[in-house]
Amino acid sequence: MKNFLALIVLNYRTVLLDYRCLFESLLWRTIRFNLGQVASAQAHIMQGSHSVNIRNFFVPGPLGRIPVRLYQPAREAADGSRLPLVMYFHGGGYVSGSLDDADTPARFIAQHGQAVVLSVGYALAPAKPFPAAPEDAFAAATWACKHADEIGVDLDRMVVAGDDAGGGLAVALTLMTRDRCGKPLAAQILISPMLDPSMRMIGDAGRLQSDLTVEKCAASYRQYLPQTMQRLHPYAAPLEVSRLAGLPAAFIATAERDVLCPEAEKYASSLIRAGVPTQVSRFAGITHGALSTHLPLLKEIVNFLRCRFASLQGNDDQHPYLPFKLNPSTAL
């Protein structure tokens, strides 16, 4: 087994480099476990030229410090201008998850989308139920706005994104920003979001062969929303919101084998009816848990951001929507 893995590292170096953004963490742990410290040195090829600089720190929040992870492309913008900012919220059903769970999409967006990504570790239930998580999200966004010069971002191209519960928080943040007259957001990226505590639209896990079940969703909502009336709050139940006009353009990704697919697509239709530019992509054969690290989805996100930023700058013709290609890396 050791010889086999060593052969892969030595002979398929270019292939490994191409996909290091997606498989770096998993392959690093696997190689280190099986080959020991000597082969671990060879696994450094997965890190390429360190094209993303990463920092972990804390920002102030209403209930204490909020852990965040900042991803900054190593290459500065060609003309020295500031980069877009993408705030990313991890999944976990509002009761679990961490910054590590968001590492793959955050790293990919930073590296291939040439954007600064701020991944936020918000408060989790049941220790800190609603509204702790959305208030943490808003506090992190406020911090980013105040420190835009320090992290080198353009607030006119500020985007919120998240998967699972993080998708629900991204929606909540768009509503809070609008309601509290905050800095307008440029776009929202929702990856199989949790949007409906009533679960009226939830799919049949058996028929869909979903890895996420109705029982698991119900258990998460019970801990996150311990009071019945909280399930009608717009920041907890975006699917119930009727005032959607003026929200930022949306990219909504759903998985075919996911019980949350119907409610996400229902929300997309509501946005479209409200006049919000919305792109919806359903990925065939993909489960809920696999969607956030699905390579075709990550490519779609990067393309969506390129087109959205070009539209904001009035350069639609110069940045058409094109199939996104990953160029092989030749650097160690």
Interval 266-271 mean pLDDT: 98
Q: Would you say residue 28 has pLDDT above 90?
A: no
CA angle (77, 79, 82) in 5-degree steps: 50
Residue-wise pLDDT for 36-65, tens only, equals 433 332 333 234 335 899 999 999 999 999
Pair 280, 254: CB distance under 8 Å: yes
Interval 294-316 mean pLDDT: 91
The region that residue 311 occupies, defined by phi over 0 for left and psi between -120 and 50 for alpha, beta otherwise, is alpha
Q: Would you say residue 11 has pLDDT above 70?
A: no
The model's pTM is 0.82
Interval 168-196 mean pLDDT: 97
Burial class of 41 by CB neighbour count within 10 A (0 to 12, 13 to 18, 19+)? exposed
Q: Would you say residue 136 has pLDDT above 60?
A: yes
Residue-wise pLDDT for 219-244, tens only, equals 999 999 999 999 999 999 999 999 99
Interval 293-318 mean pLDDT: 88
Pair 35, 3: CB distance under 8 Å: no
CA-closest candidate to residue 315, choices 323, 307, 327 = 307
pLDDT of residue 44: 34
What span, in angstroms and rounded, lies between the C-alpha atoms of 42 and 13? Answer: 10
What span, in angstroms and rounded, lies between the C-alpha atoms of 69 and 62? Answer: 19
Burial class of 245 by CB neighbour count within 10 A (0 to 12, 13 to 18, 19+)? exposed
